[in-house]
Amino acid sequence: MKILSLETSCDETACAIVENGVKELVSVVASSKDFHESTGGIVPEIAARKQIEFIGPVLDQALLRYGLSPDTLDAIAVTTGPGLIGSLLVGVEAAKALSIAWNKPLIPVNHLVGHIYGNFVNVTEDVVFPSLVLVISGGHTDFILMRNHGDMEYLGGTLDDAAGEAFDKTARLLGLAKYLGGVQLSKLSATCTDNLASGVLPRPLIDSPNYDVSFSGLKTAVKRLIDKNIYPNNVIACEFETALIDVVVAKMRKAIKEFKPSSILLGGGVSANTALRSRIKLLSEEYGLNFHVPPLNLCTDNAVYIASAAYFINKPAELTSVVAKPSLGVMDRP
């Protein structure tokens, strides 16, 4: 079964074709990231306009690159949320148009669940359920117990800033980048060989009796630390990254003890973070669990995992019920 998918939830415009949920045949991603640097954040209207500009060429390229006729496709999948309303609408309406024009079923997909399916495409090792899942991105930090495809239990998540948002805002405080500085922060942190500030920043909610986390106070503590002018920036970057990962690892450890999963899955943009990947890998080894994390190109937004999620868990829907849903949570129907 070949599914063509569209993903336009934020500043990426992506189209993919995936076979049986596991084999990527083609993936095209365009990004309007560069247009948001001067404003230090996304201007939703600009992101939406860029989606309109990019969607046609991205779709054309995906079909051309694979030399595929629409006749050979079995379904169209599209991200319906969460995301920016203007951006989402472009993908949703384009997918509806394709569904009508090509007479194919249309499958709505939750973007956050999509992130998890980056672990199911192009892999050699199958995921053994139950899995402890961490979706960690610019907008979300969610701990989930996944018993099977479509059988998920929400354990907890961020009460305020998402991990990616905390990375980006801290990167801005350190003067690394005005927008999406998570990668730069992590590179700077890697240059710190001795964390002289170890334990100086708080580990918010690390011992709380549930799976909720909070990162907005951490960012404020970084601001105070910078103002004190004691540590060089790479030490502060390292201490921030370590503090955030300490909290995440503590919650994962707690969930391993409580739910005894067979595997751990990471998904979302921040799962590209080298320190996070290695700490969670170590944790998996400690408990003898299989560890899955998408390759870097499937961590950040793309359409490949949308097609995979569509194959494994979502059913075709009536065209009229496929609508953009900007504030969808990870457990909500797309």
Interacting residues with ligand KG4 (CB under 6 A): 137-139, 164, 167-168, 180, 182-183, 186, 268-270, 272-273, 300-301
Residues between 128 and 157 that touch Zn ion (CB under 5 A): 137
Residue 209 CA to residue 318 CA, distance in Å, equals 42
Taking the complex as a whole, how short is the minimal distance between the CB of residue 175 and Zn ion, in angstroms? Answer: 26
Q: What does the per-residue mask of binding to Zn ion show for 17-46, with x meaning CB under 5 A? A: ------------------------------
Taking the complex as a whole, how short is the minimal distance between the CB of residue 37 and ligand KG4, in angstroms? Answer: 13
Residues 127 and 146 sit within 8 Å (Cβ to Cβ): no
Tokens 């495809």 appear where?
A: 149
Residue 192 binds: one of Zn ion, ligand KG4, none (C-beta under 5 to 8 A by kind): none
Residues 222 and 173 sit within 8 Å (Cβ to Cβ): yes
Residue 195 binds: one of ligand KG4, Zn ion, none (C-beta under 5 to 8 A by kind): none
Taking the complex as a whole, how short is the minimal distance between the CB of residue 74 and ligand KG4, in angstroms? Answer: 27
3-state DSSP of 254-304: HHHHHHCCCEEEEECHHHHCHHHHHHHHHHHHHCCCEEECCCHHHCCCCCH
Q: What is the DSSP letter of 101?
A: H
Residue 334 binds: one of ligand KG4, Zn ion, none (C-beta under 5 to 8 A by kind): none
> Of 26 and 272, which CB lies nearer to ligand KG4 in the complex structure?
272
Taking the complex as a whole, how short is the minimal distance between the CB of residue 290 and Zn ion, in angstroms? Answer: 23
> Of 78 and 237, which CB lies nearer to Zn ion in the complex structure?
78
Residue (of 257, 247, 251) closest to 286 by Cα position: 257
Residue 272 binds: one of Zn ion, ligand KG4, none (C-beta under 5 to 8 A by kind): ligand KG4
Annotate 57-78 with b (16+ C-beta within 10 A) or e (fewer).
Answer: ebbeebbeebebeeeebebbbb
Taking the complex as a whole, how short is the minimal distance between the CB of residue 187 and ligand KG4, in angstroms? Answer: 8
> Of 130 and 269, which CB lies nearer to Zn ion in the complex structure?
269
Q: What does the per-residue mask of binding to Zn ion show for 76-95, with x meaning CB under 5 A? A: --------------------
Residue (of 334, 331, 333) closest to 142 by Cα position: 331
Residue 279 CA to residue 275 CA, distance in Å, equals 6
Taking the complex as a whole, how short is the minimal distance between the CB of residue 222 and ligand KG4, in angstroms? Answer: 14
Residue 308 CA to residue 109 CA, distance in Å, equals 10
Residues 330 and 302 sit within 8 Å (Cβ to Cβ): no
Residue 142 CA to residue 149 CA, distance in Å, equals 17
> Of 51 and 186, which CB lies nearer to ligand KG4 in the complex structure?
186
Number of residues that bind Zn ion (CB under 5 A): 2
> Of 137 and 284, which CB lies nearer to Zn ion in the complex structure?
137
Taking the complex as a whole, how short is the minimal distance between the CB of residue 271 and ligand KG4, in angstroms? Answer: 8
Taking the complex as a whole, how short is the minimal distance between the CB of residue 262 and ligand KG4, in angstroms? Answer: 25
The yes or no reply on residue 301 touching Zn ion (CB under 5 A) is yes
> Of 148 and 278, which CB lies nearer to ligand KG4 in the complex structure?
278
Annotate 79-110 with b (16+ C-beta within 10 A) or e (fewer).
Answer: bbbbbbebbbbbbbbbbbebbeeeebebbbbb
Q: Position 78: which residue type?
A: V
Find the part of the chain contacting Zn ion (CB under 5 A) among 159-167, 192-200, 233-241, 297-305: 297-305
Residue 90 binds: one of ligand KG4, Zn ion, none (C-beta under 5 to 8 A by kind): none
Residues 170 and 222 sit within 8 Å (Cβ to Cβ): yes
Residue nearest to ligand KG4 (CB): 269
Residue 310 CA to residue 3 CA, distance in Å, equals 8
Note the residues at the interface with Zn ion (CB under 5 A): 137, 301
